[in-house]
Structure 1
């Protein structure tokens, strides 16, 4: 089909890679599989996939570096798979452009749902890009058409997900967004068990924009700080 979405699966475990390929083909995707970092980068250049499912731990060039190089060549939605639970490792992955992550072991049903949610986000972002809007909240300026963010006149390089999260909160400065609501608005699902995804991206935003831009309301969620 002309509109068939292309997914590149990068996974060095043959059993997992085959299971992923079979499930995604059954879901209607065109799927290519790569078993290491170099093969992944070559396949990415040839196939120009709509989305990449990327294992964090790969032989040779690891998943973090693969993600970095892919995003530098042509931005693409990346769902990272990781067997590591350390927050620092997750933040590194998100910092180089991964949009979401799943920790092994995971269910195929959840993975497919995350993929569909990511693709819907890309479509929404493309539609919003036609809106020539600048949002200013205190010292933060967000150009939604160009997807650029400035703090005190200095541009900050945000990933696609970081930008979408910041823009959502900036639309209602001071309003407290529940984590589940942000998951629904940005990621397209609202499972309570996945709220750590929001927490990780907020930490990444604070590293780039400063700690005073987004405040935490403990037990509830996050709000963009409204200028006094």
Structure 2
């Protein structure tokens, strides 16, 4: 018959007591206490290091990064993002020593130089007082589909699509204006006009200088009957 080995009798009981006493002394031994103290000291050191890292200011973190890396990070932003970045951080918004442009403007300049086609360059001559971020925003707007940004007058129904207007009242003049500004080069636009034979409106297409017709003053003067062609 096979079985598990065991210790019986008084000798077995004495051996069990000695083993239990040895385990208790080992748990309270100086070596164990010193090990716990050493671990506790390491934990405090790690916490102090974490606190130092937590107190590191964001501006100090940017100082250790080179301009090339910062420009690469900024290149993922659009024109509005670059403008916001320049307003938020002086490192990006103010030219540093020895630099002609801020990092935000430099990122916009490099993007325009690398992505703009010859035709787009002809259409977007840069103004003397225009920033590179502003020119990059103009390039983004040039690439978007044309739409009617302002509806003035009493003859339009609520706009369901930015590129479509519906005239519901032909008694007076109403005007739909695009916010696209033509700087240079050749521009073209197509208009599809659908007319109800029962109520044929008069449609005029034209070009006007960049001006807002909904700034409050002009809208009050038009009194719901808007026809810029008669004063342009």
TM-score (normalised: structure 2): 0.26
User: Which structure carries more strand by proportion?
Assistant: 1
Scaled by the length of structure 1, the TM-score of the pair is 0.27
Which has the higher Rg, Structure 1 or Structure 2? 2
